[in-house]
Amino acid sequence: MKFRPLHDRVVVKRIEAEQKTAGGIIIPGTAQEKPQEGEVVAVGPGARDEKGALVALEVKAGDKVLFGKWSGTEVKIDGQDLLIMKESDILGIVA
């Protein structure tokens, strides 16, 4: 990837949602909600605290994360649809 996020920004690729319900009903694309789970593609170096010291991010590339429904800014980089968001917009890491 030719993009490096700055400060406490994180680049996330959405993980596609299941196209069927548990009962086997196929959900059309227009009725599906955007997935709130993704994989971290790249992270910035971290934010600075009040004293100017660099505070590293807790997430790293490859982590699967959950984020809010309206979190981040959608961008297209190298033909991929990605989200750029602050680390604080991430709700947690999926183990």
CATH number of residue 63's parent domain: 2.30.33.40
In a domain, 36, yes or no: yes
Rounded distance between C-alpha atoms, residue 35 and residue 5, angstroms: 22
In a domain, 2, yes or no: no
Fill in the amino acid letter for 1: M
Assess whether pLDDT exceeds 80 at residue 76.
Answer: yes
> Beta-strand (E) ranges in the chain?
9-14, 37-43, 47-48, 54-55, 64-67, 73-77, 80-86, 90-93
Q: What is residue 26's DSSP assignment?
A: B
Structural domain boundaries enclosing 80 = 9-17+25-93
In a domain, 40, yes or no: yes
pTM confidence score:
0.78
In a domain, 64, yes or no: yes
pLDDT tens digits along 19-40: 665 676 776 665 556 768 999 9
Fill in the amino acid letter for 24: G
The number of folded domains in the chain is 1
Q: Tell me the average pLDDT across 77-95.
A: 92
pLDDT tens digits along 54-75: 999 999 999 999 998 888 999 9
